Chain A
Amino acid sequence: MEPVIRIEKLEKSFGNLKVLKGIDLEVMPGEVVCIIGASGSGKSTLLRCINLLEYADSGHIWFDGNDLMDLGTDLNALRQRIGMVFQSFNLFNNKNVLDNCTMAPMTVKKIKRQQAEETAIQHLKEVGLGDFIHADSRRLSGGQKQRVAIARALCMNPEIMLFDEPTSALDPEIVGEVLDVMKNLAAQGMTMIVVTHEMAFAREVSDRVVFMDNGVILEQGSPAEVFGNPKEARTREFLSRYLEDK
């Protein structure tokens, strides 16, 4: 089976600070990959490099036979197929919930309003927001906003979803409602790359856990391997707090 995304020797620095020091990663169709690691280890940068919100300095990102790092690649066409959910939701403030979800399909894919709205309503119902279709997006709670953001990404019918710390801006009580939506999504077979600090989620839902430290992938494997028997000392150190709590 061909991987959906194959990253080769990806390097990125901000000024003198080298954030990614040669990342290699493959994600298979239907796989849920959780990237964990300390703040500043380069997890978010890696994710943002995948759909080129940040430009990596060198390396390759293969997606459906195209190298995203190639200057001739039509990024807008490829980004349509890669959904992204942000830590700070980034709902369009000037639109209500439904318009948030229909804007990109109508603008980019030129889908008729009626059809776009049907799709949007279906996805909004999936994330449990069927009653909030016409709500002002600024008035929603954090958990609701993030679920709208997930529905918005799903409306483009992506082949892979990137989650950039989707629950870090939420209070502990409503983290669950977002994680539940993500679990459902994983169960439906969506390919997902999730940068997260939710260890329980990573352990329960992911097929593979990637531990990043200081710009490199230090260790990766099944959740049982990484959480149960971490090989590297740094991984053990990072996970110790979480494992002690258990």
Chain B
Amino acid sequence: MVMKQSCRRSRPVSRLNGKQSNHSLKNFITRDHPYVYFGGSVVAALGLYTATTQPSELSFLGNSPLLYLPALLCLAFLALAFVALTVKLCNWKTYQQTVFKSERMVRVARIASYVMCAAALLLFIDRPLMHLLVVIRDSATASRMPDGFFQSMVYMLYNGKTFFRMGVWTTVRIALLGTLIAFVLALFLVTLRIQQPDRQDSDLVRFFKSIGRNFASLYITVIRGTPMMVQALIFYYAGFGIFKSTGMTVTEINQVWSFFISGLMTVSLNSTAYLAEVLRGGIESIDHGQTEAARSLGMSSWQTMLKVVFPQAVKNSIPAIGNEFIINIKDSSVLSVIGCMDLMYATTTVSGIYFKALETYCIAAIFYLILTYFSSLLMKAISRKLDTAVKEIPSSN
């Protein structure tokens, strides 16, 4: 306890603290910031203002005397701040020596600001937040489309929840599975891509290596050079045609070659090309000395690849692989053209039911934003865990 107090007083030292950057918000609140009165007054004023607004149905304080306690706390803090300001204006040069700068007063003011913030938070929950909840509840349970942009968004979100739930789930599954499958395929593709003829290879081996290298190169060029929407349509109809030629009925084909399966295949095959290039970059970034050292110890080129080069290359590529996952969350939206029930298709369906396009697409945007935001947080956490540098990589499209 003594340690903690002395620590709190030594403000300049805490700035040099190595862990400061990790807990900057916490430090700002507990000891760093010099704006207790000013910042606190703003919060207190906002708290007071919310206290004057009309209570909503769900408001628990209502207009009862209980409301006065937090409101008075805010008012008291404003008064304290006013006194401090007056003292400061009257003693501009000698303010440091006044009672307001004494250690005890500084601590009292800070604790007072915490109490006041709690009171303001209570008011904030009671008025605007509860009001918002009432609006959401009323909009969601309305018998017909309510007026207002936000209200109709809530209405459609609630009534179309099965669509949205299925859409989000499909999008997440396609992005996740697609990236994983693509990663495995990309490992194969990049292995083909980097084959170089060796001095000891027979003509046959050279021939196959050359075929593999050129195939990988062609695949990457074609896939990266065409839009995924076009690929989705081609894959879907090609698959459909193939199954059709085996004499299956349309119902049977739809079971085997569903929109989901063909969508997943599109994303996987598309990402394979991008990830193969990512991995190739990763492999080429590994110092050639690593390979030479392994070969000089008698390891074969396969053993060198598997044990030395690939582990390092994959590890270095993890941020880019995570980036590809995030891109897939967004880009899977083009799969709606083949009728894959992803988030975009769900949104279009809902918008068709209610004839409210702008509102539904805003819902979709918010969903995509939430998905990508939390995915990128997850990727950063994984990268940090694996001790790889987090690099911002430009989008592939």
Contact = CB atoms under 8 A, between A and B. Distances in A.
B290 A53 contact: no
Contact of A79 (B289, B297, B307, B312): B297
Interface string A64-106: 0000000100011111111110101111111000000001100
Nearest to A79: B298
A104 B297 contact: yes
Nearest to A93: B312
A12 interface: no
A80 B295 CA distance: 9
A152 interface: yes
A51 B293 CA distance: 11
B200 interface: yes
Q: Is the interface of B mostly helix, strand, loop or mixed?
A: helix
B307 A55 contact: no
In order of increasing CB-CB distance, the 7 nearest A-B pairs are A80-B298, A104-B297, A90-B293, A90-B289, A84-B296, A79-B298, A108-B298
Interface string B297-308: 111100100011
A103 B307 contact: yes
A89 B312 CA distance: 17
A187 to B, nearest CB: 24
Interface of A: 51, 53, 55, 71, 75-84, 86, 88-94, 103-104, 107-108, 149, 152-153, 156
B199 interface: yes
Contacts of B300: 76
Contacts, number: 70
Give the size range of B's interface with the partner: 20 to 34
A92 B308 contact: yes
A55 B201 CA distance: 14
Contacts of B311: 94
Nearest to B288: A90
A91 B30 CA distance: 46
5 contacts: A76-B300, A83-B297, A86-B292, A86-B293, A104-B294
Contact of A93 (B290, B297, B298, B299): B290
Nearest to B292: A53
Contact of B293 (A76, A78, A80, A91): A91
A55 B198 CA distance: 10
Contacts of B289: 86, 88-90
Interface in B342-387: none
A86 B289 CA distance: 8
A92 B309 CA distance: 9
B147 interface: no
Given A92-B290, A156-B297, 12 more contacts: A53-B292, A88-B287, A89-B289, A90-B289, A90-B292, A92-B308, A93-B290, A103-B297, A104-B294, A104-B297, A108-B299, A108-B303
